[in-house]
A and B are shown apart, each in its own frame.
Chain A
Amino acid sequence: MILFSNVSKYYNSHPALEGINLKISQGEFVSIVGQSGAGKSTLLKLLIAEEAPTQGRIYLDDKEITSISRTELPYLRRRIGTVFQDFKLLANRTAFENVAFAMEVAGSPRKEIAQDVPQILQLVGLEQKAGQFPRELSGGEQQRVAIARALVHQPDIIIADEPTGNLDPLNTWDVIRLLMKIHELGTTIILATHDREIINTINKRVISFDKGRVVRDEEGGRYIL
């Protein structure tokens, strides 16, 4: 369960999020929509403690993310798989190694890595590109590596910030179907997107942001800005 309690985030006294109260249960599929600059990425950054809120508290189950110790933080982050809006791939590592990194961090045995990484790369259609470095991949391919890395260690929660921004419609739907399938296995999914068609098709909970505030929060919601 994720809980935002009266959370605000200011960047140089400019509000990116204000007075957010949200509850997301384990196993939910939540979409986050809003105009560019509405605060979607900021919300997700607070969740993995990439940024600290200016005000308020955030809980993941019984842990308060906002006051977690430096030593505990890595373990919290491993419970969450994140697809960053800007991918954040390691430039010095191949596609394979980037995906493997999420497992290495968690201390998975070598055999498991050798087995799981090719599988997940195949799932996102990149088995041919495993040995290529991010700079040798197209935008969409990089994005799929980022997705593979977020999924490979089977986290409890997946945060996907614009995961289909660089993909063609076919790949987009592959990724969405993949997320839905993972969701059916019990994983919490938080998806930030601008894609009206996805939102209107999947028929899940939609939280709309405007200028840092929640303006709509509906089960089976539509894409309305």
Chain B
Amino acid sequence: MVNALGRVFKTGMRHFWRNGWLSTATISVMALALAMILGVLLVSVLMGALLDNLKSKLDVSVYFRLDTPEEEILKMKNDVLARPEVKRVEYVSSDDALARFKDRYKEDQTILASLDELDGKIFEASLNIGARNPEDFQPIVDFIKDPRFVPLESKVQENRDVIDRLSAVITGIRVVGFGVSIMLSAVAVLICFNTIRMAIYTLRDEVNIMKLVGGTNWFVRGPFLVEGFAYGIVSSLVTMVLFYPLVFALSPSLARFFPGVNLLDYFVSNFVLLWLILLVAGTVIGVFGSMFAIRKYLRV
């Protein structure tokens, strides 16, 4: 048994080397297919990061009447912060708001000059509240509109609508993207199957002969499965190695489109996981493709 397994393994590896061109061609096609799968995977990671990024920008701002004492605002801040759906609360005091304004218009002397003519507090203090999820918004708004607080507030501003719409678009893209990636992956798998089928087709006479000399199905099939397994290992490695420089080159420009996403970091820190995914995909395709392709030539 061990003897036979060893033999099957050795023969499979020998095939792999001796049919150099065939192996190279098959591996190239498989690597391309796996690259497609990896690309789809990375795009979906980017989209997910973009969505998270947007969600973190969800907020509602409460502006306070100019005469509201700071203690009241800070007390409200603590109350708001105590709520589970609230992710962050930022207090912007009247002076902070002024400083920000000055900073924004630091080029414009007329505005700054007219600002100096005004006395006392000009800008309303505000609390900037971020929610964990879009669904968490309503309770937060309800809480803010509590009669306790209303007398202090001058206005409540939400960016929910914009974010909601953007999220809907991104979610739409993701759903469509998911469909497209399933299709692309299916095409990739089919191409691999077909390539393997052709590789085995060229060896159909060999299969035939082995059967006629008295080989059992498993003895004949075994080396081809080993070969298919080797295809999977090598093509997944090739794909990962080729993707590294690609991600390296693209990462900076992607960071501009997707703020807060470092694809290179993601790729490097998940290298092993990504490779394992490709390895499983590749070897499963290789082994099952071979098994499937050889079936009809075993009926001798």
Interface residues of A (CB under 8 A from B): 48, 50, 70-71, 74-78, 82, 84, 88-92, 101-102, 104-107, 109-110, 149
B159 beta carbon closer than 8 Å to chain A: no
Chain B residue numbers with a CB within 8 Å of A91 are: 205-206
Contact B214 A77 (CB under 8 A): yes
Contact B214 A90 (CB under 8 A): no
Secondary structure call for the B interface:
helix
Q: Which A-chain residue is minimally distant from B215 (CB atoms)? A: A105
Q: Which A-chain residue is minimally distant from B10 (CB atoms)? A: A104
Contact A102 B18 (CB under 8 A): no
B277 beta carbon closer than 8 Å to chain A: no
Contact A109 B3 (CB under 8 A): yes
Known A-B contacts A92-B18, A107-B3; A102 and B209 likewise in contact (beta carbons under 8 Å)? no
Question: Out of B4, B14, B15, B214, which one reaches A74, CB within 8 Å?
Answer: B214
B157 beta carbon closer than 8 Å to chain A: no
Question: Out of A70, A82, A104, which one reaches B7, CB within 8 Å?
Answer: A104
Contact A88 B214 (CB under 8 A): no
Known A-B contacts A75-B214, A110-B3; A92 and B15 likewise in contact (beta carbons under 8 Å)? yes
Chain A residue numbers with a CB within 8 Å of B209 are: 88-90
B219 beta carbon closer than 8 Å to chain A: yes
Enumerate 29 A-B pairs (CB-CB under 8 Å) in ascending A order: A50-B212, A50-B300, A70-B217, A74-B211, A74-B214, A74-B216, A74-B219, A77-B214, A78-B214, A82-B212, A82-B213, A84-B212, A88-B205, A88-B209, A89-B209, A90-B206, A91-B205, A92-B14, A92-B18, A101-B210, A105-B213, A105-B214, A105-B216, A105-B219, A106-B214, A107-B3, A107-B4, A109-B3, A110-B3
Q: Which B-chain residue is minimally distant from A77 (CB atoms)? A: B214
Q: Which B-chain residue is minimally distant from A106 (CB atoms)? A: B214
Chain B residue numbers with a CB within 8 Å of A101 are: 210, 213
A45 to chain B, nearest CB (A): 9
Contact B213 A77 (CB under 8 A): yes
Chain A residue numbers with a CB within 8 Å of B68 are: none
CA distance A30 to B211 in the complex (A): 25
Contact B212 A88 (CB under 8 A): yes
CA distance A105 to B19 in the complex (A): 22
Contact A149 B3 (CB under 8 A): no
Question: Out of B3, B210, B216, B219, which one reaches A90, CB within 8 Å?
Answer: B210
A146 to chain B, nearest CB (A): 10
Contact B214 A102 (CB under 8 A): yes
Which residues of chain B from 6 to 32 have any CB-CB distance to chain A below 8 Å in the complex? 7, 14-15, 18-19
Chain A residue numbers with a CB within 8 Å of B210 are: 90, 101, 105
Chain B residue numbers with a CB within 8 Å of A107 are: 3-4
Mark each residue of chain B from 213 to 228: 1 if its CB lies under 8 Å from any CB of chain A, else 0.
1111101000000000
Chain A residue numbers with a CB within 8 Å of B18 are: 92
CA distance A105 to B213 in the complex (A): 8
CA distance A110 to B15 in the complex (A): 19
B19 to chain A, nearest CB (A): 7
Contact A77 B212 (CB under 8 A): yes
Known A-B contacts A92-B15, A105-B219, A110-B3; A149 and B213 likewise in contact (beta carbons under 8 Å)? yes
17 further contact pairs, Cβ within 8 A, besides A74-B216, A88-B208: A48-B212, A50-B212, A50-B300, A77-B214, A82-B212, A82-B213, A90-B206, A91-B206, A92-B14, A92-B15, A102-B213, A105-B210, A105-B214, A106-B214, A107-B3, A107-B4, A110-B3
CA distance A217 to B215 in the complex (A): 34
Chain B residue numbers with a CB within 8 Å of A50 are: 212, 300
CA distance A70 to B206 in the complex (A): 19
Chain A residue numbers with a CB within 8 Å of B4 are: 107
Chain B residue numbers with a CB within 8 Å of A89 are: 209
A164 to chain B, nearest CB (A): 21
Q: Which B-chain residue is minimally distant from A101 (CB atoms)? A: B213
CA distance A72 to B210 in the complex (A): 15
Q: Which of A77, A104, A110 has the most CB of B within 10 A?
A: A104
Q: Which A-chain residue is minimally distant from B7 (CB atoms)? A: A104
Which residues of chain B from 200 to 255 have any CB-CB distance to chain A below 8 Å in the complex? 203, 205-206, 208-217, 219
Contact A92 B213 (CB under 8 A): no
Mark each residue of chain B from 266 to 300: 1 if its CB lies under 8 Å from any CB of chain A, else 0.
00000000000000000000000000000000001
CA distance A107 to B3 in the complex (A): 8
B114 to chain A, nearest CB (A): 89
Contact B215 A74 (CB under 8 A): yes
Known A-B contacts A50-B300, A109-B3; A92 and B214 likewise in contact (beta carbons under 8 Å)? no
Q: Which of A50, A88, A109 has the most CB of B within 10 A?
A: A88
CA distance A110 to B209 in the complex (A): 22
